[in-house]
Amino acid sequence: MDAREYDGALSIGKVRGRGSGVNPGGRFEPVRLHVLGEALDEVLRDQPEGVQTPTRVYRDNARTVINRVDSPDLPFHWTLNPYRGCEHGCVYCYARPTHETFGLSCGLDFETRLFAKLDAPDLLRRELGKPSWRGEPIMLAGITDVYQPVERRLLITRRCLEVMAECRQPVSIVTKGALIVRDIDLLASLARHRAVQVFVSVTTLDQNLSRSMEPRAASPRARLEAVRDLSSAGVPVGVMVAPVIPGLNDTEIPAILEAARDAGARTAAYTMLRLPHQVKAVFLDWLRRDYPLRADRVEAEIRRMRGGELNDARFGKRFKGEGERAEQIGRLFRVFKTRFGLDRGRMPISSEAFRRPGPPGELMLFGEDGV
């Protein structure tokens, strides 16, 4: 077993069904421990198929669930995250560093040690009922995927959407999880009040790349089928090409947009890869392990768009990058977005139908459409 070090994080190589092969120390930790390669060889010698790392779920005793967002380059001001951490294990995930606030790593810990807000639906009902709440749109989620595998059995997202459908609370969702089709009944109900929009993230059409880069997310084919099902049910749905990784999936943009159009998407958007904090270690370890022949070129392309760095946190620059290469990708996206008619499908979202929930246990009066 070849153990390598990236920015202070020791690669442990193949971990079965996971994206990260490292567990880098957090930026808040004064002491970082590293394991010698000889010790790793001894542990892994009898596990040729890779280490098996189970998922552990812990209760998150949050007191509130609607969070204020004040970023000038985001199109929303409120988020709700039913989970912290994400089992999808996407190697590029910008949200990984949030786990460091728990004293955990943004590597394997982020995708194997999850926190679930089991009381989120009750807290949401209470907060939507406050006189100060005006029914502004909520992004579900922001630092996690609300349709990651654990949602199948915990149903926290489902129960939050039940509250939102009852209140006609407008909501936006971005997901890589095909599990969203389970909740089409609630989403269609919200759609009748122009109170929902969904973006399905399609990073690549290459099944092998997706399996390696997003190991527990839905397959590209399943995501496009979810777009088709949502569209057929009258739910406004678009496709998010995110992240665009120069030298790896940027040439797929025309094909992804054509597939999005064919599946019934109304619009499309994209963001450029960004690698904050120790996400750099996770991504570069994966890139050099799974795509060694492309690694140097991809890293160089990323730096071309980030002023020689691997990340640029400046508002207005972090999502699109800058420089000639970033502009070239932007032009490519806009040309094919227009060609496939994805620049005409607006997805407005409205708070006009919002109504406050009644006390817990009190049934609201329903109209002809149910909610």
pLDDT over threshold 50, residue 37: no
Longest CA pairwise span in the chain (Å): 69
Establish if 365 belongs to a structural domain.
no
Higher pLDDT, 48 or 2: 48
Establish if 134 belongs to a structural domain.
yes
Q: Using DSSP, state whether 351 is helix, strand or coil.
A: coil
Phi-psi region of 72 (alpha: psi -120 to 50; beta: other; left: phi over 0): alpha
pLDDT over threshold 60, residue 310: yes
CA distances (Å), origin 182, targets 196, 226, 340 = 16, 10, 28
Pick the closest to residue 281 from 51, 29, 97 (CA basis): 97
Give me the pLDDT at residue 350, please. 96
* CATH number of the structural domain spanning residue 327: 3.80.30.30
Give me the pLDDT at residue 51, please. 61
CA distances (Å), origin 303, targets 11, 188, 276, 307 = 22, 43, 13, 6
Give me the pLDDT at residue 362, please. 56
pLDDT over threshold 50, residue 278: yes
Structural domain containing residue 127: 5-339
Establish if 141 belongs to a structural domain.
yes
pLDDT tens-digit readout, 79-98: 999 999 999 999 999 999 99
Peptide bond into 295 cis (omega under 30): no
Establish if 122 belongs to a structural domain.
yes
pLDDT band, very low/low/confident/very high, at 54 (cuts 50, 70, 90)? confident
pLDDT band, very low/low/confident/very high, at 25 (cuts 50, 70, 90)? confident
Establish if 352 belongs to a structural domain.
no
Mean pLDDT across the chain: 88
Peptide bond into 268 cis (omega under 30): no
Establish if 332 belongs to a structural domain.
yes
Higher pLDDT, 304 or 367: 304
Q: Half-sphere exposure (CA, 13 Å, Cβ side) for 287?
A: 22
> What does the pLDDT average to over 37-62?
67
pLDDT tens-digit readout, 233-265: 999 999 999 999 999 999 999 999 999 999 999
Q: By the 8 A CB rule, do 56 and 113 touch? A: yes
Q: Which two tokens stand for residue 55?
A: 């998922």
**Residue 324: what are its φ and ψ, rounded to 5°?**
-60, -40
For 365, residues 6+ apart whose C-beta sits below 8 A from its C-beta are none
pLDDT over threshold 60, residue 7: no
Q: At what angle do helices 184-191 and 156-167 cross, to 10 degrees?
A: 20
> What does the pLDDT average to over 40-55?
59
Give the span between the Cα atoms of 139 and 77, in whole angstroms.
8
Give me the pLDDT at residue 16, please. 72
Q: To the nearest 10°, the Cα dihedral for 288, 292, 298, 299?
A: 40
Give the span between the Cα atoms of 337 and 341, in whole angstroms.
6
- For CA atoms 359, 353, 162, 84, give the dihedral sign: negative
* Rg over CA atoms, the chain: 21
**Residue 221: what are its φ and ψ, rounded to 5°?**
-65, -40
Establish if 197 belongs to a structural domain.
yes
Give me the pLDDT at residue 222, please. 98
Establish if 371 belongs to a structural domain.
no
Give the span between the Cα atoms of 225 and 210, in whole angstroms.
16
pLDDT band, very low/low/confident/very high, at 364 (cuts 50, 70, 90)? low
Give me the pLDDT at residue 144, please. 95
Total number of domains constituting the chain:
1
For residue 122, which amino acid is it? D
β-sheet bridge partners, residue 67: 79
Among the ranges given (64-78, 122-136, 139-153, 195-209), the one the predictor scored with the smallest mean pLDDT? 64-78
β-sheet bridge partners, residue 172: 139, 197
pLDDT tens-digit readout, 140-182: 988 999 999 999 999 999 999 999 999 999 999 999 999 999 9
pLDDT tens-digit readout, 177-187: 999 999 999 99
β-sheet bridge partners, residue 239: 200, 268
> What does the pLDDT average to over 56-60?
96
> Strand runs (DSSP E) across the chain, as ranges?
5-6, 9-10, 56-59, 66-68, 78-80, 83-84, 113-116, 138-140, 171-175, 196-201, 237-244, 268-272
Give me the pLDDT at residue 21, please. 76
> What does the pLDDT average to over 272-279?
94
pLDDT over threshold 80, residue 360: no
pLDDT band, very low/low/confident/very high, at 38 (cuts 50, 70, 90)? very low
Q: Which two tokens stand for residue 35?
A: 């394991």
Give me the pLDDT at residue 3, please. 37
